[in-house]
């Protein structure tokens, strides 16, 4: 990774814009990929970034942990014996722990999990679990046997390598799970303090994640509709609630065979009990839009914006056909407000040019498949030298249409009696009404809402923010390895999902921090770059004071320094050694 700049002249002034670039191999080519736009790296931007960093993580580089009390010691050193030992990953875990503390989760866990008779505090083990899930998602066994000993967490937490083992990590999962509600309530308050996030508008979606193994000890593990395309595996469903900006507020776990619409009333009641009721607006997709749910939301006075099934568009065919009343709210997107004839709700009709092109291409693709398959079937019937049973042919036609359902209604297929040896021939006709409706409805969708004081643009933009919930699921699955689940016990499954949720809180906090520092929205890139910053033990044999060991942090390269400067982070130069390490390090030469 390195720095690159471009120079632009504007209003008689010369502006130099910086960006972080890295080389990436794609096939046989090496291309330059922009990691983050740093802007002009002006003093005002740096001051803002540092101020936000202080508010989020304080000043950890000034903590007692990084003061080794040896600043003024001057001794002669034997150059021949100087060596470097104990290299550890420092930058990524330092940032993860800073986020853990900045979000207030460290202090909360210390309150919820007070120190007792155990040798290692459970709050520290919780920090290890979540930091590992953020930096290098893996199993508890991998954390204990490999990852932890490669990182500087043992120094930052003052917790030796021998204190972290798989059994202690498993027990920490059990202790953490008992406080799920308190953790979610804390996050609701803290996200507002740090990021000025408003949680009046809540986005809600459901996904699934599957198990490896039979999961016989978990009653929630069931087979159902798999978003991961693993119908062969048992799964659980996870309902996630995020704010308008995508900051996670809470989640619930349901049986793997439950329908999305059956989760809505439970999740709404649970979240309102935890975060309050006043002013809430619920936004969710068409999977929740059952008649019972809509009636329940209206009767209880809750405000909502919900996507409606595509089939409901036919009720508003005349409004779709009318050219008046449409208003452009975004490039390529038009909306129109109307009233639902049965419930009096506000209906937002939407037309998207990109969506129209996509749906038209899908209709054309499936139509070509059907036509090609029917041509082959007709040719086979024509080549037959004896009478054919029509039943198998009808079944084959059914399979062709079932495999291409998007365009199946476009074709009317019958077997007509004929004098050929087979006894019949295929008669294929196109359904004109299908083409007419497709031309009108392609790219169109509708939303239902009982909010009467918002404009059409506000309603549409609020619904589009539902992509934040979808992005949250993608990050948890792809970046934080929510799937697959290897745990078999029900409570361990719940705890695994909770750790992934807390790691996503840190991920989103870093993403919003990057956004305010104008560094894009790729936390993984930042973590990978900072992981290259390591801590080392520099061992200095002296002529008068025996052997001195200094635990030093490597100097960031220019690109890393620019990244840290933009985030407003100052890394420490040295760390204090643990108490149990001091006697052995001051032995006489």
Buried b (16+ CB within 10 A) or exposed e, 94-104: bbbbbbbbbbe
Residue 62 above 50 pLDDT?
no
The pair of three-digit structure tokens given for residue 491, joined into one six-digit string: 């409570």
**Band of residue 376 on the pLDDT scale cut at 50, 70, 90:** very high
- Count each helix (H run) and each strand (E run) in the chain, helices first: 20, 18
Weakest-pLDDT range from 563-567, 569-573, 579-583: 579-583
SS (H, E, C) 550-572: EEEECCCCHHHHHHHHHHCCCCC
Q: Give the sign of the dihedral formed by CA 513, CA 517, CA 521, CA 522.
A: negative
Residue 421 above 70 pLDDT?
yes
Q: What is the pLDDT of residue 513?
A: 86
Residue 301 above 70 pLDDT?
yes
Average pLDDT, the chain: 86
Q: What is the pLDDT of residue 61?
A: 45
DSSP-assigned beta bridge partners for residue 417: 424
Weakest-pLDDT range from 96-110, 121-135, 152-166, 267-281: 267-281
Bigger pLDDT: 72 or 532?
Answer: 532
Say what percent of the chain tops pLDDT 70: 86
Q: Say what the pTM is.
A: 0.84
Residue 70 above 80 pLDDT?
no
Tens of pLDDT, residue by residue over 196-233, are 666 688 899 999 999 998 888 899 999 999 999 999 99
Tens of pLDDT, residue by residue over 4-23, are 667 777 666 766 666 667 77
Beta strands 444-449 and 235-243, pairing class: unpaired
Tens of pLDDT, residue by residue over 262-285, are 999 999 998 888 877 767 899 999
Q: What is the pLDDT of residue 334?
A: 94
Are 178 and 149 in contact by the 8 Å Cβ rule? The answer is no
Are 439 and 321 in contact by the 8 Å Cβ rule? The answer is no
* 119 DSSP assignment: S
Which H helix or E strand runs over 2?
strand 2-10
Beta strands 547-553 and 534-541, pairing class: antiparallel
Residue 350 burial (CB count, 10 A): 23
Which single residue is written with the structure tokens 């989103």?
A: 508
Q: What is the pLDDT of residue 171?
A: 94
Are 211 and 490 in contact by the 8 Å Cβ rule? The answer is no
Residues 149 and 130: their CA atoms lie apart, in Å, by 16
**Band of residue 589 on the pLDDT scale cut at 50, 70, 90:** very low
Q: What angle do CA 518, 521, 522 make, to 5 degrees?
A: 125
Say what percent of the chain tops pLDDT 90: 51
Residues 6+ apart with CB under 8 A from 246: 203, 465, 468, 469, 471, 472, 508
Q: What is the pLDDT of residue 5?
A: 61
Tens of pLDDT, residue by residue over 317-355, are 999 999 998 999 999 999 999 999 888 899 999 999 999
- What is the pLDDT averaged over residues 367-372? 95
- What is the pLDDT averaged over residues 178-200? 81
Q: What is the pLDDT of residue 273?
A: 85
- What is the pLDDT averaged over residues 138-158? 93
- What is the pLDDT averaged over residues 568-581? 76
Is it true that the peptide bond before 355 is cis, omega within 30 degrees of 0?
no
Residue 559 above 50 pLDDT?
yes
Beta strands 201-210 and 281-284, pairing class: parallel
Q: What is the pLDDT of residue 584?
A: 44
Tens of pLDDT, residue by residue over 425-434, are 889 999 999 9
**Band of residue 116 on the pLDDT scale cut at 50, 70, 90:** confident
Q: What is the pLDDT of residue 585?
A: 40
């Amino acid at each position: 990774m390195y720095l690159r700049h471009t120079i632009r002249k504007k209003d008689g002034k010369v502006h130099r814009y910086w960006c972080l670039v890295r080389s990436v191999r794609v096939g046989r080519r090496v291309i330059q990929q922009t990691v983050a736009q740093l802007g002009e790296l002006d003093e005002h931007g740096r001051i803002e970034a540092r101020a936000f960093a202080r508010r989020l993580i304080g000043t950890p580089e000034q903590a007692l942990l990084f003061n080794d009390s040896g600043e003024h010691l001057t001794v002669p050193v034997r150059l021949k014996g100087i060596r470097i030992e104990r290299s550890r990953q420092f930058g990524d875990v330092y940032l993860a722990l800073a986020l853990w503390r900045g979000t207030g989760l460290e202090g909360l866990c210390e309150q919820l999990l007070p120190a007792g008779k155990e040798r290692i505090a459970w709050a520290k083990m919780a920090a290890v679990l979540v930091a590992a899930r953020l930096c290098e998602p893996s199993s508890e066994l991998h954390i204990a046997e490999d990852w932890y000993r490669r990182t500087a967490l043992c120094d930052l937490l003052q917790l030796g390598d021998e204190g972290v083992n798989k059994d202690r990590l498993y027990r920490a999962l059990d202790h953490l799970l008992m406080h799920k509600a308190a953790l979610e309530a804390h996050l609701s308050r803290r996200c507002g303090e740090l990021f000025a996030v408003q949680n009046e508008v809540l986005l809600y979606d459901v996904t699934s994640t599957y198990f490896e193994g039979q999961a016989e000890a978990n009653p929630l593990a069931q087979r159902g509709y798999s978003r991961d395309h693993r119908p062969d595996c048992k799964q659980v469903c996870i309902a996630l609630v995020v704010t308008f900006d995508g900051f996670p507020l809470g989640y619930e776990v349901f049986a793997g065979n439950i329908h999305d619409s059956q989760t809505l009333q439970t999740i709404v009641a649970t979240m309102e009990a935890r975060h309050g009721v006043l002013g809430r607006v619920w936004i969710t997709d068409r999977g929740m839009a059952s008649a019972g749910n809509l009636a329940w939301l209206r009767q209880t006075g809750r405000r909502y914006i919900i996507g409606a099934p595509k089939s409901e568009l036919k009720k508003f065919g005349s409004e779709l056909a009318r050219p008046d009343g449409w208003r452009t709210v975004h490039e390529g997107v038009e909306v129109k407000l109307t009233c639902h004839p049965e419930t009096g709700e506000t209906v937002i009709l939407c037309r998207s040019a990109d969506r129209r092109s996509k749906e038209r291409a899908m209709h054309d693709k499936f139509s070509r498949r059907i036509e090609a398959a029917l041509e082959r079937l007709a040719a086979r019937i024509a080549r037959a030298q004896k009478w054919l049973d029509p039943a198998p042919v009808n079944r084959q036609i059914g399979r062709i249409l079932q495999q291409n359902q998007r365009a199946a209604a476009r074709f009317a297929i019958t077997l007509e009696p004929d004098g050929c040896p087979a006894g019949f021939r295929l008669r294929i006709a196109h359904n004109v009404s299908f083409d007419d409706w497709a031309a009108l409805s392609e790219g169109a969708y509708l939303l239902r809402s009982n909010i009467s004081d918002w404009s059409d643009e506000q309603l549409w933009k609020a619904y589009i923010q539902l992509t934040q919930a979808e992005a949250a699921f993608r990050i948890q699955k792809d970046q934080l390895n929510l799937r697959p689940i290897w745990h078999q016990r029900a409570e361990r499954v719940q705890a695994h999902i909770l750790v992934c949720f807390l790691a996503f809180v840190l991920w989103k906090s870093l993403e919003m921090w990057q956004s305010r520092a104008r560094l894009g929205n790729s936390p993984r890139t930042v973590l990978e770059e900072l992981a290259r910053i390591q801590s080392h033990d520099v061992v200095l044999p002296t002529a008068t004071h025996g052997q001195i060991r200094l635990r030093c942090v490597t100097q960031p390269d220019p690109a890393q320094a620019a990244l840290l400067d933009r985030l407003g982070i100052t890394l420490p130069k040295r760390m204090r050694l643990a108490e149990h390490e001091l006697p052995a390090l001051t032995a006489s030469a």
